[in-house]
Structure 1
Amino acid sequence: MMRKIKLTRANKSTTLKALAPYYYRERALGHSTQEVGKLVLKIDSLPADKKATFSAEEIHLMRTTINQLRNKRLAKGQYTDAADDMLLKLY
């Protein structure tokens, strides 16, 4: 199943910040990072405020990593901004 999602500049930035640690952790563990790497490049190459089509697997990965980033911030007592909350609703 494919879904079109419009990413703003802030959404792109937060999504990339969430995907990067996941990518490097998987790489350090010796797991395949091809799909995550493709997703990072896809998001990075998108112009701001344009719609892009994402697969169910890509959306699941984005949602999971953003939730992990958000939970990590909360555990440290850091503020999670509205962009994080909005991204979880978007995906």
Structure 2
Amino acid sequence: MRKIKLTRAYKSILLKALAPYYCREKALGHSTEKPGRLILKINSVPADKRASFSVEEIHLMRITINRLRNERLAKGQYTDAADDMLLKLF
């Protein structure tokens, strides 16, 4: 377990990154239990509070944030907040 402080910006980035992943997994008929639980957990943590995340949850967050970052880069959009969140997870 690792504690990460979730600011409003980080919560927003995580939820924006996890939602498309959740929908994609559901559309493919894969299990959505883990991303669904993670979304609920992140959503329930008050802003500017620390929350404990397992290695598996952090791995899922890294994958989805990196995917969001790469999509934004491909569109020429601003990525500093996503980059900051990725650094926070390492």
Letter in 2 for 1:75: A
In structure 2, the partner of 1:18 is 17
| Number of positions where the alignment pairs a residue of Structure 1 with one of Structure 2 | 89
Structure 1 match to 2:67:
68
> Stretches of 4+ moved more than 2 A in 1?
none
Q: Which amino acid in the other structure matches residue 68 of structure 1?
A: R
CA RMSD in angstroms, aligned pairs only: 0.7
- Cα deviation for residue 42 of structure 1 reads 0.2
Structure 1 unaligned residues grouped into runs of 5+: none
Counterparts of 2:6 and 2:85, CA distance in 1: 9
Superposed CA offset, 1:29-77 (max 9, x none): 0000001000000000100011100000000000110000000111122
Structure 2 residue ranges without an equivalent (≥5): none
Shift of 1:78: 1.8
State the partner residue of 2:35: 36
1:57 aligns with 2:56: yes
Paired residue secondary structure (1:5):
strand
Task: Choose which of 63, 84, 87 in structure 2 pairs with 1:86.
Answer: 84
Identity across matched positions, percent: 72
TM-score normalised to structure 1 length: 0.95
